[in-house]
Structure 1
Amino acid sequence: MIKQIAFLLLVLLLITGCNDSDIKRNTEIEKRLHSSIIMVSGNSTSKTYLNTFDDFEWDKAFLVQLYTTQADIEKQVGVKFTDPSNIGSRDDIYLLVFVNEGKAIQYAEIERLHTTFSLGDKEYLEPPNDVIYIER
């Protein structure tokens, strides 16, 4: 009986220790990107640099497009990331997912506000090459 209880406790600890609930939503980046969007006037293209917003270590940042499924997010990002925004059924935000040392560490929900975001011809951003294009 004691062995069974110990086994169940071990399984519960493993299950709770293996989730990605420690991924932080970065509302500061959301606010700063929102301000960058507002500054783009008329039908024009602008760019912004993530290094002016970040205050944490990251290797890669991925821009997840509207209506992207959970499976496609994990394929794009290459690591386990449970989407808390439900972007698979939304067209009002983009998702910016930050990865460091092979683990998703932070994300930001970027409001569209009648704009299109892209990384140019890049698959993902890296700290020395961190330009996000904003087209209105």
Structure 2
Amino acid sequence: MKKTIFFIPLLFLLIGCGQSNSEHNKDLENSIFSIVEDEDNSKIEIDSLTSFNWDKAFLFTPYSPQEHIEEELGTDFKDPSNISMRDDIYLLVFLEGDKAVQYVEMERQGADFSTEEKGHLTPSNDVIHIKRY
């Protein structure tokens, strides 16, 4: 009985540590999907689509390893999308201060996305470019 009492709190602690505290923003995903679906669009202006506070956003390409994501963000972020093993999405992670607050899985839809040479997006510099293939 004592072992069970010890292991149950430990299990909850481990589960809590393995999950991201940021919110999966499916409404924003749907908005981005609609923009990319229209082949006349060549860019996505992210700030006009967001309804939450953010300072920076980072776009990660397919197969981005967990270590690279955390290094770029400068904070802990347990990637719930498992992008390190996927080629069907890009991962967009939003920070407020030094905390990841929201993320979006951007379906490729026959396109690649880039922020060009910018390391990250800001609300005033928020364009993601769409390159169709």
Report how many residues are paired: 124
- Mark the runs of 5 or more structure 2 residues left unpaired by the alignment: 1-5
**2:33 corresponds to which residue?**
34
Coordinate RMSD, CA, aligned: 2.1
TM-score, structure 2 as length reference: 0.84
Structure 2 Cα separation of the partners of residues 71 and 51 of structure 1:
27
Partner-residue secondary structure (3-state), 1:48:
strand
Counterpart of 2:93 in structure 1 is 97
Q: Which residue of 1 aligns with 2:104?
A: 108
Matched, 1:76 2:72: yes
Q: Which amino acid aligns with 1:97?
A: V
Match of 1:52 in 2: 48
Q: Distance in 2 between matches of 1:78 and 1:101?
A: 11
Contact 2:21 2:100 in 1 (8 A): no
Q: Which moved more, 1:112-121 or 1:45-54?
A: 45-54
Larger Rg: 1
Q: Which residue in the other structure is 1:125 paired with?
A: 121
Query: 1:52 Cα shift?
Result: 1.4
Deviation per residue, 1:76-117 (Å, 9 max, x gap): 111110000100010000000000010111100000011010
Work out the CA distance in 2 between the residues paired with 1:106 and 1:133.
Answer: 20
Q: Name the TM-score, length of structure 1 as normaliser.
A: 0.82
Q: Where in structure 1 are there 5+ consecutive unaligned residues?
A: 1-7
- Structure 1 outlier segments of 4+, above 4 Å: 11-20
What secondary structure is seen at the aligned counterpart in 1 of 2:42?
strand
